[in-house]
Amino acid sequence: MDTHVAVIGMLRFPKERVAEALPHLKTFVEETRQKDGCIFFDVAEDAFEPGVIRVSELWPDKESLERHLKAPHVDPWRAAARACGLVDRKFTAYAIGHSWPM
């Protein structure tokens, strides 16, 4: 069975700067969805923690994720996030060998 990779993470911005970061994040997510082979890449503002954006991704395999992390659109997004006041970021990747709908 193929092993997929799930990535769960968060980005923290000053709450008054989230609106400034969102257009850059939208461009990054759209490019990732189109170019990097991801199965899904979703982001959402946290309803209970102003300034926090939750991220969930699913990749076909570890190699796809590694290629994504070196893709040309990653560094411009990271620079834009820093320019928008990025305070913290945390991501964890998980190997998924089997899944089922809940």
Give the residue, 41 or 100, on which the prediction is more confident.
41
Q: Are 56 and 42 in contact (CB under 8 A)?
A: yes
Residue ranges and CATH numbers for the domains of the chain are: 4-96 (3.30.70.100)
What angle separates helix 18-35 from helix 74-83, to the nearest 10 degrees? 170
Could you tell me which residues come within 8 angstroms of residue 19 by beta carbon, excluding any fewer than 6 positions away?
A: none
pLDDT digits 0-9 by tens, 16-34: 999 999 999 999 999 999 9
Q: Residue 98 above 80 pLDDT?
A: no
- Least Cα distance to 25 among 64, 83, 67 occurs for 83
Q: Are 35 and 67 in contact (CB under 8 A)?
A: no
- Looking from the CA of 57 toward its CB, the CA atoms found within 13 Å total 25
